[in-house]
Amino acid sequence: MPPPAPQPETLHNGHDLANAAAQSRVHRSLADPVSGLRNAVTILGGLATERLVPNKPVRYELVTAIGEGTGTDDNLTAVYAGTGANRAWCLSAVFDRYEETVVRSALSWNEIRLRYAELAPLANFVFGDGIEEKTLTDAGLHVLTLPAWVKQRLRVQRNWELQLKLMRRGTRQEVARVLRRQNYASRLTNDRSDIESFYVDLYKPYATRRFSHGVLLVDRQRFVTECRRGIVLQLVNRRSVVGASLLRRVGNTMAIVWSALDPQADPVELRGATDALDYFSLLYAHLKGCRWLDFGPS
């Protein structure tokens, strides 16, 4: 007789955090680390391929924008200088609606540097994207420098009791309260239909609403391919999927690649949803024997 099919993986959905690991069912095998290593090699291979492609010359642009500021009816002005990669994100952070005018575009920063120094003191907001801080201060600007990405990750303990103990008491109580009041449940899936729904119903509309003009969407085929390398964690409220995260093992790290909430859901149904997704992700990473939970760059 063939061996019985393995039972579906499930995470304990109740607010009894202390017994969550014991009451969950997640398969562990020698293939898990191999799968994580394979994902790491695939990612590194993709990075190596990108680096072998000849770099295009960097083109700088100088743009002015006039529009209605966020939270005000006043017309404000902004000046942006940089490669253009984050221009839409920068401007949408301070404007609800705006119009752009390209002042200058050049292959050399020096070609637009002086004009930038003239326009910057006259604007309400000034952005320098991918430009050295010294260059900005030399133009007489007092700048706030933000890193491109902040890495966020958590050490996963082998003992679940210790994991909860190391969690801040207030955070632990809040997670339990959210699970009790919202009655959230989790579901682990890698069905193609669930992955497609994740992209169409959650990821794409959620990212578009959150980042507006500055959104950078992953194309559908790449999204599906990446999801097939991991597992989709769905967050369910009253039988409706209100959120999801892609969990993918890379080496000994469980990475949260993409997360999204249902932008059409009633805000009441989404209370604590992000905390619940993070908690279930941590529980899954622990049960899979990972050493780190990577929340992704922010």
Q: What is the pLDDT of residue 28?
A: 77
- Which among 9, 11, 8, 22 is positioned nearest to 185, based on CA atoms? 11
Q: What is the pLDDT of residues 206-236, one digit of tens each?
A: 988 877 666 778 889 999 999 998 999 999 9
Q: Map residue 84 onto helix, strand or coil.
A: coil
pLDDT at residue 140 tops 60: yes
Dist CA 76 CA 65 (whole Å): 8
Dist CA 91 CA 61 (whole Å): 14
- Which among 12, 2, 6 is positioned nearest to 29, based on CA atoms? 6
Q: How many alpha carbons fall within 13 Å on the CB side of residue 185?
A: 8
- Mean pLDDT, range 268-277, rounded to an integer: 92
Tokens of 184: 């959230």
pLDDT at residue 162 tops 90: yes
Q: Which residue has the higher pLDDT, 40 or 69?
A: 69
Percent of the chain's residues with pLDDT above 90 = 48
What is the CA 252 to chain-centroid distance, rounded?
20
Q: What is the pLDDT of residue 49?
A: 47
Which span out of 19-33, 93-107, 265-279 was modeled with the highest average pLDDT? Answer: 265-279
Q: What is the pLDDT of residue 2?
A: 52
- Mean pLDDT, range 11-40, rounded to an integer: 79
Buried b (16+ CB within 10 A) or exposed e, 12-44: bbebebeebbeebebeeeeebbebbeebeeebe
The structure's pTM equals: 0.72
